[in-house]
Each structure stands twice: as C-alpha cells, then as structure tokens.
Amino acid sequence: MNIPSAKILSRRLGAALVGAAAIALAGAASAETVRVGVSAGPHAQILDAVKPIAAKQGLEIKIIEFTDYVIPNAALAAGEIEANSFQHQPYLDNQVQDRGLDLVSVGKTVVFPMGIYSNKVKSLAELPEGATVAVPNDPTNGGRALLLLEAEGVIKLAEGAGLKATPIDVVENPKGIRIVELDAAQLPRSLGDVTAAAVNTNYALESGLNPLTDAIARESADSPYTNIIAVREQDKDKPWVKQLVESYHSPEVKQFVQDKFKGSVVAGW
C-alpha cells in the first residue's frame, strides 16, 4: 500500500479547503435577498429578530423602514420591496379595495392593542364637555378608535357602522366631544393640544409611551386587528415566502416579543 507523502497530503488538504471555500461562497451567492418594508419601532425590531433565523434557511432579509401607513403598500405593489410587515388585515383589505392593489396576506404577525392617551385627564370618565379627542385619519384605524370609544361608553355609533366607522356615524355623543382626525404618526405629538388621542401601539412605543401604564383605555387582547405579512399576489407561492413566514413564526421570535414588549405587543400566531 502506498502511503502519500506529507507534501501530497498538504496539497490535498489545501485543495479540499479551497473547494469547501468555493462551495461556501457559492452558497452565500445563492442566498436569496428580500426587502421587507416596516414601520419604525416594534415592527422593525421584531423583524430584526427574524433575520438570523431566516439566514439559517438561506434567506437574507433587508429591512426598509417607512414613516407612514400608505407608502409601504405602494412600494410593494411597485416592486420596490418584496414584502411588508406593518398593517393589520382590515387595513390591507381597505387598501386593496380602494387602490386596486394586487396584494395578499401570507401570515399573521402580532397584535398591537390600541390605546387612548391623555396629558389632561386620568380616565375617559373625566373627559369634560366639548373635549377634543384625536383619532387616526385612515379608514380602518379611525374606525377602530371610534369602536374603542364606543366600548368605553363615550359615544354610540350607528348600527352596522363596523370597522369602517367614521365620525359621521356617531349617533350619540353625551359630552359633545369633538373628534378630530390626524395622521396616525402625528397622534403622540398631538397630546399637548387635544384632550385625548387614540394612538396605535407602534407609534406609542416609538414616542416613549407605555401602553400598559400610560393608556387611560385600551383594546382587549382579543382584538381582531392582528397584523400580517403582505406580498404581491404573484409571489405568494414562492419558496422565500414560506421561509419568511416560518422564520417569523419561530419560537425564538415569539419569546423575543414576550421579553421585549411585556404584553404591550402580543404574538398573533
């Protein structure tokens, strides 16, 4: 039996290492990259926790942050990003209907119970006559805020107004409160000017408000407004979509949500 010399073994080892490196580089080069649009704050933080899990499956996530609720869907429809994670199902349904966008939900993410905040009163029962209450100006979140005000006994809405309720659907308003509609991102900054404001949790957290201790009223945890991951209809069956959703739904991400937000954000899957 011939025994290879040390020089030959060294050459073979070197060749093997080069080959392994080439395979690794090829694998890295073949890793798919997807751009995912999010709103700043919790959505971005959670997706950052998803990234290393997705990377293990060969999926590289590039997080693109947006500052409002309109542009992420427009960017997705235009192909500027491959997915987004910032909205709940009723909002997506409204966008699809009103703007004719060919977008679909492929997986649930988290629930952000909406809260009502105030720098002037400690409960909704303390709202004075003619108080000004600010709500989001987009159709679904505005309706959501009005439903919360109704649940708290502040107003009563017309029967059947549902998720798309607007201020004109208010049929009973015992204290004569004035409802003003503002961009959702501006609501935390409006607290110095209004009596109270209904603020989405992601914007509340971003502004330093604690939904568990600062909100004077809050949606229950069984809110129907679970957030979702959206993609273009043509992409919904692509392998990377399954990888993205499975990575998001991992036990590690659920634990991150629990540890990071301590109940102010709830896993919805």
Helical H segments across 31-84, by residue range:
42-55, 71-77
Going residue by residue through the chain, which has 269 residues, state the pLDDT in tens, using 9 for 90 and above: 444 444 443 444 444 444 444 434 444 445 699 999 999 999 999 999 999 999 999 999 999 999 888 899 999 999 999 999 999 999 999 999 999 999 999 999 999 889 999 999 999 999 999 999 999 998 889 999 999 999 999 999 999 998 889 999 999 999 999 999 999 999 999 999 999 999 999 899 889 999 999 999 998 766 778 999 999 999 999 999 999 999 999 999 999 999 999 888 989 99
Question: Element (H or E) spanning 146, and its range?
Answer: helix 139-151
Which of 133, 64, 63, 137 shows the shortest CA–CA distance to 94? 137
CA distance 148 to 150: 5
User: Long-range contacts for 45-53 (Cβ within 8 Å, ≥24 apart)?
Assistant: 45/260, 46/85, 46/109, 46/110, 46/248, 46/253, 46/256, 46/257, 46/260, 46/265, 47/85, 47/248, 49/252, 49/253, 49/256, 50/244, 50/247, 50/248, 50/250, 50/253, 53/247, 53/250, 53/252, 53/253
